[in-house]
Amino acid sequence: MNIFSKPKYYRPGFGGSLLILLVMFLLGSVVSVVAAFIAAAISGELSAVAQATSDPVGLAGILSGKLSLVYFTQMIIPVLFIWLVGNSNSQNPLNAPVKVDAPHLGKFNFLTLGILLLLMTLGLSWALDPVTSNFPIPDNFKDMFESIATRPVDTIVSVAIMAPLFEEFIMRGTIERGLLSKGSAVVAILWSALLFGAMHMNLWQAIPAFVLGCLFGWVYYRSHSIWAVIFMHFVNNFSSIMLFWAFPDMDADATSRENMIQLTGTDMWYWVLVGGGILVVILGIILLHKFLPRKPKSFRPATVILADAINPNSTGTLQ
């Protein structure tokens, strides 16, 4: 069965989108912590569990050591919530669905679009670096970068695989799709990007997440391909992991510019990458705007056909 067969019936508005995030952060966080404690107890880390109950450092250690489990259990809760609401809405014959994934790639194919989106995602990451460098890297991310060497599978699965799948399904595939089915594309893209930035809960991530979310949202609107934005999200996250994997001696407290100077002896190549990133993004947007459908109709709710119970031969439509 298509996993998107029920969520397509849930088209949340502003209130519904906030409710999804509330479920994620309240119920999902509680479930994820409980799951981490249970896993720690099963694996024989009872002393660490006992310490964690009264020591925030111990709690952080329990959670960071089980990144994939914690992330999965937190994010599966809002996904189940979306599925359950969609399933309930599907029982109403008057509820018009909108597909989560209905690709229309214009003059692109999956290969050419994928190459362009890869380059644009990498380019935007570099273009945003002078802005994000003004904010400190959160301590939990420093721990994550250090875990790349000691727990590479756990880090890759959670950051590069699960995060793109869960977050794009929620942010673009549910929240943005819901708003696109009701009104303005600009509002839908900006609102989903704003929530995407806010959910990261720190400025170092929130600002680039908002800008990336605007690009992801626009690509989703123009292509209606959830897999296109999942791929972009994967490229963004996996490239960060690979950068720290390739340069394990990189100082997590230093900016990218400082690390580039340490690596090459000059900041020239840093600004080349920043300028090149800006150019790639601009050219990519021009190409996408030219060759993707400009006003996709697939986000409009499907027409529901109603039959007159008194006169079965007559029908009507409801949008």
Helix (H) or strand (E) holding 139: helix 139-150
Within 8 A by CB and 6+ apart from 58, the residues are: 48, 51, 52
Give domain status of residue 2, yes or no.
no
Domain holding 44, by residue range, is: 7-318
What integer pLDDT is reported at residue 55 of this predicted model? Answer: 47
Give domain status of residue 65, yes or no.
yes
Distance (Å, whole) CA 182 – CA 158: 33
What integer pLDDT is reported at residue 11 of this predicted model? Answer: 96
Give domain status of residue 173, yes or no.
yes
pLDDT tens by residue, 160-170: 999 999 999 99
Residue 233, pLDDT above cutoff 60: yes
Q: What b/e string do you get for 282-307 counting C-beta neighbours within 10 Å, with b at 16 or more? A: eebeebbeebbeeebebbeeeeeeee
Question: What pTM value is reported for the model?
Answer: 0.87
Give domain status of residue 91, yes or no.
yes
Helices (H), 53-106: 56-64, 67-90
Total number of domains constituting the chain: 1
- How many CA atoms, within 13 angstroms, populate the side-chain half-sphere of residue 127? 17
222-240 mean pLDDT: 96
pLDDT tens by residue, 58-79: 444 445 557 888 899 999 999 9
Q: Which residue has the higher pLDDT, 140 or 227?
A: 227
276 touches 126 (CB < 8 A)? yes
Distance (Å, whole) CA 145 – CA 149: 8
pLDDT category of residue 317 using cuts at 50, 70 and 90: very low
Give domain status of residue 261, yes or no.
yes
Task: Give the rounded distance of the alpha carbon of 204 from its chain centre.
Answer: 16
97 touches 2 (CB < 8 A)? no
Give domain status of residue 1, yes or no.
no
pLDDT category of residue 279 using cuts at 50, 70 and 90: very high
Q: What is the number of other CB atoms lying within 10 angstroms of the CB of residue 249? A: 8
Strand partners, 315: 307
Give domain status of residue 244, yes or no.
yes
